[in-house]
Structure 1
Amino acid sequence: MAQAFNSAAAVQAAVGQDLGTTDWLAITQDRINTFADATGDHQWIHVDPERAKDGPFGKTIAHGYLTLSLANLFLPQLVEYQGLKMGVNYGCDKVRFPSPVPVGSRVRGHGVVVAAEPVKGDGVQVTVRVTVQIEGSDKPGCVVDTISRLFF
């Protein structure tokens, strides 16, 4: 269940707060292929299961940027902003891909509010660290500090 915030002050007070985890999401070959089609990245380690069997990972793996894009799917499951007039994606910091995400694995998002600073007009710039965890793995598939500007 998403953590709810209803003001810039509430977001600022949440620095350091653990937002919990999302439900698990299966990484299918269809999802990988769809991402490959959308981005034009058809490298064999992502889209050729037969060739990938003999590759460095033993099977296809999700694109790093596919794994990163899941932050957008996971954020609304982690945090809800009530009474928001407008929110915009301001960017990302410190994107890392510590471990490949193999096809057939399950991932979930874990969130922590790492920073929140006021911005003009009753707004707040919030940084939420999203860690894309891989079921059964000690290393995550992605860690990203997402930055949003919110106006209440």
Structure 2
Amino acid sequence: MTAVRSRPRFVFSTALAGALLCATTACGSSTSAETAEVGEQKTTWEEPTSYTYTLTSTTQVLAGTFRVQVRDGRVTEAVGTDADSRRQAQEVPDELPTIGELLKRLSQARSDNADTTEAAYADDGHPVRISLDWDKNAIDDEALYVISAYDPTAG
């Protein structure tokens, strides 16, 4: 008989990601996603120089939902969707990434052999969810990024 261990934090993170993706879909996003496991590259998407997107982030440094504007490959404006997110956007603006920077974090985590490096991609190839956990036994090193309302024409 095989013993099964419950990983509450992983289960919570997975449930949160699922809820956020469902909420995103319910809000009018019609992107379908597929999951890429460690080492797989499921996309050939190239980041445009200008676009907008909504980022929901749960990390130690950045937690909340932000509407992000990227111009010439750099974040030029970020607005939080609630009071706490607005405060964070003002206090730590350098922590708000472009989608390309999120993909670099995913690639770095894979290079570092992180315990969890998962991503889901939309039909056009841009990521819609990135989940990272460098050490499953460490506390507070997880990161979950949910990308929605991506608009490459808002440049």
TM-score by length of 2: 0.30
Name the structure where strand makes up a greater proportion of residues. Answer: 1
> Which one scores higher on RCO, CA 8 angstroms, separation ≥ 6?
1
Structure ID, larger Rg: 1
TM-score by length of 1: 0.30
